[in-house]
Amino acid sequence: MRNQSIPADCHKTTSMNPVITSIYTADPSAHVWEDGRVYIYASHDVDPARGCDLMDRYHVFSSGDMVNWRDEGEILGSEDVKWGRPEGGFMWAPDCACKNGTYYFYYPHPSGSDWNSTWKIGVATSLEPTRGFTDQGYIQGLGGFAMIDPAVFVDEDNRAYMYYGGGGKCAAGELNEDMISVKGSMKEMEGLEDFHEAAWVFKRNGVYYLTYSDNLEGNNCMRYATSDQPLGPWTYRGIFLEPTGCSTTHGSVAEFKGQWYMFYHNQELSGEGTLRSVCIDELYFNEDGTIRTVVQTREGVKPVGEAPLPNPEMKSYDAADSEAGGGAFISVTEEGRAVAAGMYAAEAYCRFHAVDGGAKGGRAEIRLQYAAAEPLAKLRLMVNGKDYSLINAPSTGGKTAFTGCTGLTVHLEPGSGNFITWTGGNGDIRISGMTVSPLD
Ligand code: FUB
């Protein structure tokens, strides 16, 4: 083990799209919280997918420059929801709101095995935006149609409104001070044209904007309407995001450091509509407040603000210090780089022993440096025997191009008894090392 600065390849100079590639994420709800960072609360398309059924284990991502994103780890899974569907899964598009110092995480989840007729909007709370969420049950008294895709908007006067809906109907209402009950009843939103799902509300220059996906068969657009009241009636304004090539379209709009952004997902990485990836592009308004059509790019967005500093507690582990087996082997390249190679067989593995979880243990950001010639290699990540599922390792352009950086935020035990195993998933991949940065 040796200490070193953050690997250069883990720092990006443009965000690129998709912006999050290590796992599949969708339905991004973006917020800028009081600490000045931008956060994405996203759905997690678990790989391999089974439709949208097995979506589970929400992750939060944060950034200080819109380009370099940190996985903050898992915040809630179906097994944490006592009232939820016994078989789990079905953790669909979420949102998060902050009021009076408490973070409220809203998520759609069925309460019964018959998922399609038992949707509820669950609420979990925490005093921190990225960890410590505890489920508080579901919002009572809602229903009557597809109760999915909650979005909560907290106005400048600190009053909060919840919007939700699917199957062509959108309803909204004001939340009580407790943020988990509705004041009066929800009412149907008027004036939206061709509403499908994915409601999102933001405010700019005193105007409320309600954005949503439409019903274009298999490849929705995003449309929007405006109002001078948070609950409408709304005036329809048009399409501002053309189809992304994915069978679902879902996104959010937020301002960060004076620039507006569109957060959405596509299926560029996987080619599959149920393995989606979050993207970010700039969003612009016309003089009259209407939204210009968002240009979907491959490059993504430019940095605003400083790139992140290396975590002073980050530790690096060389592949030479790992145990490789089941087909993988350790070798040293001409440049003196130790490499665990040949990680393509399902039984191949590369295990790092004695990984330091620090005095307290807790969340740690794991980053793997690798080379892969395959368009999309994958590795399974196991930490102390817990399966963190498949982690994507997009091509670096060659099997000796060690420019790849992938990973996840996981939980480590205190002390140096942790072991992290990368096993064969898909494709030929070579590992040169791994960094571990404590977050707690
Ligand atoms: O991600 C599952 C569902 O697909 C969301 O709730 C919808 O908005 C669509 O993106």
- CATH number of the domain encompassing residue 362: 2.60.120.260
Evaluate whether residue 306 is within a structural domain: no
Q: Which residue's C-alpha comes closest to atom 6 of ligand 1?
A: 93
The answer to whether residues 274 and 326 belong to one domain is no
Residue 408 main-chain phi, psi, to 5 deg: -155, 160
Q: Is 321 strand, coil or helix?
A: helix
Q: How far is the CA of 312 from the centre of ligand 1 (A)?
A: 38
Evaluate whether residue 292 is within a structural domain: no
Which residue range forms the structural domain that includes residue 425?
Answer: 315-438
Give the pLDDT score at 426: 84
| Whether 85 contacts 78, CB under 8 Å | yes
Evaluate whether residue 7 is within a structural domain: no
Sheet order of strands, 160-166 included? 151-154, 160-166, 169-174, 187-188
| Whether 161 contacts 147, CB under 8 Å | no
- Determine whether 197 is an active site residue: yes
Q: Which residue's C-alpha comes closest to atom 2 of ligand 1?
A: 92
The answer to whether residues 320 and 206 belong to one domain is no
Give the pLDDT score at 97: 98
Q: How far is the CA of 248 from the centre of ligand 1 (A)?
A: 7
Give the pLDDT score at 339: 85
Q: How far is the CA of 353 from the centre of ligand 1 (A)?
A: 39
* Residue to substitute in 24, 25, 27, 55 for testing ligand 1 pocket (most ligand atoms within 8 angstroms of CB): 27
* Residue to substitute in 58, 92, 214 for testing ligand 1 pocket (most ligand atoms within 8 angstroms of CB): 92
The answer to whether residues 375 and 276 belong to one domain is no
Q: How far is the CA of 17 from the centre of ligand 1 (A)?
A: 20
Write down the catalytic residue from 27, 95, 135, 281. Answer: 27
What's the rounded Cα separation, in Å, for the pair 219 and 373?
Answer: 31
What's the rounded Cα separation, in Å, for the pair 440 and 438?
Answer: 6
Write down the catalytic residue from 56, 74, 135, 197. Answer: 197
Evaluate whether residue 47 is within a structural domain: yes
The answer to whether residues 267 and 362 belong to one domain is no
For the domain that residue 155 is a member of, what is the CATH number? 2.115.10.20
What's the rounded Cα separation, in Å, for the pair 147 and 149?
Answer: 7
What's the rounded Cα separation, in Å, for the pair 150 and 45?
Answer: 18
Give the pLDDT score at 258: 97
Q: What angle do CA 354, 355, 356 make, to 5 degrees?
A: 110
Q: Note down pLDDT in tens along the chain; length 440 residues.
A: 333 334 544 678 899 999 999 999 999 999 999 999 999 999 999 999 988 898 999 999 999 999 999 999 999 999 999 999 999 999 999 999 999 999 999 999 999 999 999 999 999 999 999 999 999 999 998 877 788 999 999 999 999 999 999 989 999 999 999 999 999 999 999 999 999 999 999 999 999 999 999 999 888 999 999 999 999 999 999 999 999 999 999 999 999 999 999 999 999 999 999 999 999 999 999 999 999 999 999 999 999 987 888 889 999 999 888 999 888 888 877 777 778 887 877 789 999 999 999 999 999 999 999 999 989 999 999 999 999 999 999 999 998 898 999 999 999 999 999 999 999 888 889 999 999 999 99
Evaluate whether residue 288 is within a structural domain: no
Give the pLDDT score at 8: 46
Sheet order of strands, 386-394 included? 323-325, 349-355, 418-426, 376-383, 386-394
The answer to whether residues 36 and 141 belong to one domain is yes
The answer to whether residues 340 and 413 belong to one domain is yes
Residue 320 main-chain phi, psi, to 5 deg: -60, -25
Question: Which residues are near ligand 1 (CB < 6 Å)?
Answer: 26-27, 43, 52, 92-93, 148-149, 197-198, 248, 250
Q: What angle do CA 71, 73, 74 make, to 5 degrees?
A: 135
Q: How far is the CA of 27 from the centre of ligand 1 (A)?
A: 6
Give the pLDDT score at 2: 33
The answer to whether residues 250 and 334 belong to one domain is no
26 CA: nearest ligand 1 atom: 1
DSSP string, 207-229: EEEEEEE---TTS--EEEEEESS
